[in-house]
């Protein structure tokens, strides 16, 4: 499969999952106004090129709109679900600064993310066995160090019910 685009690394799952901006549930729409030329818009351009895929991956339910060459200076605008609009001026800022800024004002804090992670883990018990969809393992034979599955390696005679029954009958 050929690599597509100028920086195909932006399309890899590893790169996308490295994005650390997870918006609060109140943020619904993010709008970016920037210019395709000019030194002051450089940070915004880099932000749109490199960081927006990461943000969209982490927030699939947030609508992101890009507007080019409509205003003289670049800015971001967030629309929250209570009607509030948050304006962020990004003129003369690098893309890293922009991501830090929006993580601070509208991103979920690390504690919150960890708490949610813990809640998610609580729902399922890792020690149970069952279908792969809901559990980690289906049978004890999948675990290293345990008796292997008799479908692949036949059990020794002493463990088979047939042999045990025959012994009992004999005695």
- Which window, 3-11, 97-105, 136-144, 162-170, contacts other proteins (CB under 8 A)? 97-105
**Cβ closer to other proteins: 19 or 43?**
43
**Cβ closer to other proteins: 37 or 87?**
87
Name the nearest CA neighbour of 67 among 29, 36, 94.
36
Name the nearest CA neighbour of 51 among 109, 90, 4.
90
Among 10, 28, 68, 101, binds other proteins (CB under 8 A): 101
CB 24 within 8 A of CB 61: no
- Which window, 41-49, 56-64, 104-112, 143-151, contacts other proteins (CB under 8 A)? 104-112
Name the nearest CA neighbour of 81 among 106, 60, 104, 98.
106
Minimum separation from the CB atom of position 16 to other proteins (A): 26
């Amino acid at each position: 499969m050929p690599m597509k685009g100028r920086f195909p690394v932006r399309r890899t799952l590893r790169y996308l999952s490295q994005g650390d901006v997870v918006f609060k549930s109140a943020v619904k729409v993010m709008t970016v106004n920037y210019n395709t030329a000019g030194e002051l818009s450089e940070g915004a351009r880099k932000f749109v090129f490199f960081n927006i895929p990461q943000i969209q991956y982490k927030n699939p339910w947030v609508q992101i709109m890009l507007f080019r060459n409509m205003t003289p200076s670049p800015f971001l605008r967030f629309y929250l679900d209570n009607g509030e609009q948050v304006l962020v001026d990004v003129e003369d800022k690098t893309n890293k600064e922009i991501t830090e800024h929006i993580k601070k004002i509208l991103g979920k804090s690390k504690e919150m993310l960890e708490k949610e992670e813990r809640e998610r883990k609580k729902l399922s018990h890792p020690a149970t066995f069952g279908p792969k969809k809901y559990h980690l393992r289906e049978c004890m034979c999948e675990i290293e160090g345990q008796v292997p599955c008799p479908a692949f390696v036949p059990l020794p005679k002493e463990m088979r019910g047939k042999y045990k029954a025959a012994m009992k009958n004999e005695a």
